[in-house]
Structure 1
Amino acid sequence: MTEQPNDAPTARPDTPAATWRELRRGNERFIAGEPEHPRQDIDHRGSLAHAQRPIVAIFGCSDSRLAAEIIFDVGLGDAFVVRNAGQVVTPSALGSLEYAVGILDVPVIIVLAHDECGAVRAAIDSQAPDAAPLPPHIAGLVEKIVPAVRKVAGGDGPIEPSHVDTAFVGREHLRNTVTELVESSEMISDAVAAGTLAFVGANYRLFEGRVETDIVIGRI
């Protein structure tokens, strides 16, 4: 097996646009039930033992149905994945994405939300007048989603959870997350400005298996 330049174990797309096209093709294969399961063989596994050069960083929800490598039909070493409940920006998540951009040179960051998100539901329910207090660490995550709840529901007082559309809240939170990541990191915003990095905020549809683009920052 021929080694690639800079000790990279596999060739990869060299622009954000080309990378996103490859990922979309992988998702289409997954939707159609025709995945190729690329780059999962023994030789490729061995080639990754001392170096990695992923094509994408994916910041997604920890939901068990949101398996990023399967959804995009990619292989070992292709995706640098960061996950927590509700894809909430935290110092560890931001630092991990900066590592992906500054050290691994990924050309695309995907922020991947999904329908029927439990963290979004918890954020909505937490604003009910009779809401029980959440455990502190769960509350710390959920409070980052509450601004999206408030924007969708309107007003600052207690809300009736059944009157709030979870899909609208999830979409608003997704956009807030993308914006916060760009605004919170000079390294990331500089890469976007230079054209070497693009952001895709997307929603994953659990039933169809489809990744639907919602917001793009950068050139793809």
Structure 2
Amino acid sequence: MAPVCLSRSLGWLSRAIPLLLALSAGRAPALPEICKYCPGPVYDKSEVDLYCKQRQELTLSARCCLTKQGTIVGLDLQNCSLKELDPLFTEAHSAIVLDLKANPFEYISFSFRNFTELQILVLPRKVDCPGGHNAWDNITCGPDSCTCHGQIQCNSTVEPALCPENAYCVSDGPGLFQCLCTAGFHGYKCLREGSFPLLMFSGILGTTTFCISILLWGTQLRKIRAS
């Protein structure tokens, strides 16, 4: 009897596993929350709409233009009555096209740090492009909006003063950059030669953390006994 049950179980598994794999493969990635932040779909013939429809590999969903993997490449939040940008907006850091026009912004205090892919940013007329003219190839303005075109990447060769010696700059968003040490240097202003002593640092950090934990545990234990 046991071999028959085992055979039936194996047969059921052989049919169930391919079905589960097929369902898992066909399941669409979860829609990012920022795509549903404002009701309605992407506006027809907006910058996001035009960009997305020109590329067959992209799809429009709610307020976003997405890759098949669910990565945001376009976000249309125009006419959403936004007075400021919510921290949730960071979900769109991979966007190439952003449309924020027709919103009552006085200014945008939000930092576009990590928006390194951004190439087209549409803003209300009275709001300046992040980073100013030095951060974009071109800025064009109409009656109600301004469009920031072509984010300029930092270049240590052209502007060597951006970073100290033995370091190079990497763009970190419009008008933003960070300095990374070249190979063979580390530390403050990349002045120390050689590789960073990771094992030693980790050992010291781990030992210190362990000692502090033991000390705190002993202190709390004495308080419990005293009470």
Judge same fold: TM > 0.5, yes or no. no
Question: TM-score w.r.t. structure 1 length?
Answer: 0.26
Higher percent of residues as strand: 2
Question: TM-score w.r.t. structure 2 length?
Answer: 0.25
Higher relative contact order (CA 8 A, sep 6+): 1
Higher percent of residues as helix: 1
